[in-house]
C-alpha cells in the first residue's frame, strides 16, 4: 500500500484523494485488528494438555538441543505438559489475545522445571502470534496464555500455574497405581484408563491417540482449578472413540525408546542433566 501511495505520478488533487484513502485503509485495518483482539470473549474453562513422550518421540527424525526426545537416558518417561489452554464449552478456544510477546527472562526461575516437565518434544520453531517464530514456550504463552486473563495475568504466572496444576494432578502416577505402565507390547482398555483418572480426580479426561497409542491426555478445570469433565455430553467414552484423533477401545502407552545415534541426521547436542529438588512443596495451588 505504501509503494502504491508514493509511486503514482498523478495530479495533486488525485494524490490527495489517494492519500486519504491510504489513511482510511490503514486506520480501519488497525481498528479491525483491535476489534478482533477485543471481541475474544472470556474463556469458560482450562484444559491442561499433557503429552506422552513414548508416543510423540516415535516421530523424531533428527535431533536438536531443544528436543527433549533427544536426551536419550534423560528423556522424559512420564506425561509432560503441552499447554494450559483456556477453552470454550462449545469446543472452540480463543487464541492470541494480547500483544504480550514472550520474554524468556521473565521465567528464568522456572527454567529448569520447565525444561524437565514442559519441554518441547520437537525441533521445529512454532509460529508465534504476530508473524514470528519462537520456542514451544513462546508459542504456548502467546497463543494460549495471553487468553487466560483475568484468571492468569502474566507470563510468569501462566507457567507457574501450569506446573502447579501438573504436580497436583499427577496423571502418570495415577495410571501407574492402576497398573497402566509404559509398555511396547501391552494394550490397555481405554475405559480403564479413563476410569482410573475419574476415580482419582472425579472428572473425565479427554484422550487423543495416534495410531492406537495415547498421544495426549487432557485434564479440565473450572476457573478456580477444581477438576471438571473435559467433554460435555452423555456418551463421553463414545465421543473419545469416534472422534477423528480418536482412540481405539484398547490403546497402548509406549515406553520411550532411546533414539539410536544412527537415526540422528543433524549435529547432536546433549542437554545438561537437570537435577530437580524439592518440587513437592514449591508449587502449591
At closest approach, how far in Å is the CB of 196 from ligand 5GP? 23
For residue 263, what is its C-alpha cell?
A: 537415526
Residue 143 found at the interface with ligand 5GP (CB under 6 A): yes
Binds ligand 5GP (CB under 6 A): choice among 82, 116, 206, 228: 82
Q: How many whole angstroms separate alpha carbon 218 and alpha carbon 237?
A: 14
Residues marked as catalytic:
82, 140, 144
- Contact status, residue 138 vs residue 91, Cβ threshold 8 Å: no
Residue 194 found at the interface with ligand 5GP (CB under 6 A): no
Binds ligand 5GP (CB under 6 A): choice among 46, 47, 71, 83: 83
Stretch that binds ligand 5GP, among 11-19, 134-142, 152-160, 171-179 (CB under 6 A): 134-142
Number of residues that bind ligand 5GP (CB under 6 A): 12
3-state DSSP call for residue 213? strand
At closest approach, how far in Å is the CB of 270 from ligand 5GP? 19
Binds ligand 5GP (CB under 6 A): choice among 51, 146, 172, 204: 51
Q: Pick the closer one to ligand 5GP by CB: 44 or 198.
A: 44
Residue 281: phi and psi, rounded to 5, are -90, -10
Q: Pick the closer one to ligand 5GP by CB: 148 or 196.
A: 148
Q: Pick the closer one to ligand 5GP by CB: 195 or 243.
A: 243
Q: How many whole angstroms separate alpha carbon 85 and alpha carbon 218?
A: 10
In the block, residue with C-alpha cell 514470528: 132
- For residue 268, how many C-alpha atoms fall within 13 Å in the half-sphere facing its CB? 16
Stretch that binds ligand 5GP, among 34-42, 138-146, 237-245, 263-271 (CB under 6 A): 138-146
3: left (phi over 0), alpha (psi -120 to 50) or beta: alpha
- DSSP assigned state of 280: H
Residue 152 CA: distances (Å) to CA of 146, 167, 223, 224: 8, 18, 10, 11
At closest approach, how far in Å is the CB of 99 from ligand 5GP? 18
Q: Pick the closer one to ligand 5GP by CB: 208 or 253.
A: 208
3-state DSSP call for residue 157? helix
Stretch that binds ligand 5GP, among 137-145, 194-202, 223-231, 270-278 (CB under 6 A): 137-145
For residue 120, what is its C-alpha cell?
A: 518441547
At closest approach, how far in Å is the CB of 33 from ligand 5GP? 20
Q: How many whole angstroms separate alpha carbon 38 and alpha carbon 94?
A: 11
Binding site for ligand 5GP (CB under 6 A): 51, 82-83, 120-122, 124, 126, 136, 139-140, 143
Amino acid at each position: 500500500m505504501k509503494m502504491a501511495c508514493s509511486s503514482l505520478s498523478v495530479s495533486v488533487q488525485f494524490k490527495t484523494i489517494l492519500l486519504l484513502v491510504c489513511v482510511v485503509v490503514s486506520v480501519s485495518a488497525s481498528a479491525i485488528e483491535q476489534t478482533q483482539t477485543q471481541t475474544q470473549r472470556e474463556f469458560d474453562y482450562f484444559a491442561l494438555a499433557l503429552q506422552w513422550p513414548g508416543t510423540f518421540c516415535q516421530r523424531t527424525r533428527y535431533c536438536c538441543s531443544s528436543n527433549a526426545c533427544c536426551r536419550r537416558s534423560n528423556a522424559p518417561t512420564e506425561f509432560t505438559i503441552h499447554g494450559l489452554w483456556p477453552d470454550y464449552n462449545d469446543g472452540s478456544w480463543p487464541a492470541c489475545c494480547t500483544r504480550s510477546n514472550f520474554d524468556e527472562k521473565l521465567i528464568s526461575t522456572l527454567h529448569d522445571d520447565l525444561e524437565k516437565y514442559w519441554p518441547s518434544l520437537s525441533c521445529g520453531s512454532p509460529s508465534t502470534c504476530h508473524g514470528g517464530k519462537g520456542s514451544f514456550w513462546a508459542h504456548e504463552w502467546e497463543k494460549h496464555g495471553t487468553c487466560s486473563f483475568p484468571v492468569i495475568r502474566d507470563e510468569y504466572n501462566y507457567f507457574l500455574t501450569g506446573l502447579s496444576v501438573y504436580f497436583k494432578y499427577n496423571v502418570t502416577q495415577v495410571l501407574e497405581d492402576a497398573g497402566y505402565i509404559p509398555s511396547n507390547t501391552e494394550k490397555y482398555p481405554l475405559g480403564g484408563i479413563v476410569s482410573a483418572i475419574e476415580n482419582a480426580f472425579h472428572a473425565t479426561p479427554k484422550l487423543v491417540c495416534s495410531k492406537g497409542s495415547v498421544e495426549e491426555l487432557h485434564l479440565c478445570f473450572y476457573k478456580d482449578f477444581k477438576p471438571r469433565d473435559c467433554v460435555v455430553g452423555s456418551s463421553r467414552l463414545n465421543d473419545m472413540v469416534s472422534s477423528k484423533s480418536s482412540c481405539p477401545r484398547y490403546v497402548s502407552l509406549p515406553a520411550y525408546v532411546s533414539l539410536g545415534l544412527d537415526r540422528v541426521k543433524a549435529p547432536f547436542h546433549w542437554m545438561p542433566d537437570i537435577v530437580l529438588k524439592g518440587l513437592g512443596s514449591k508449587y502449591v495451588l
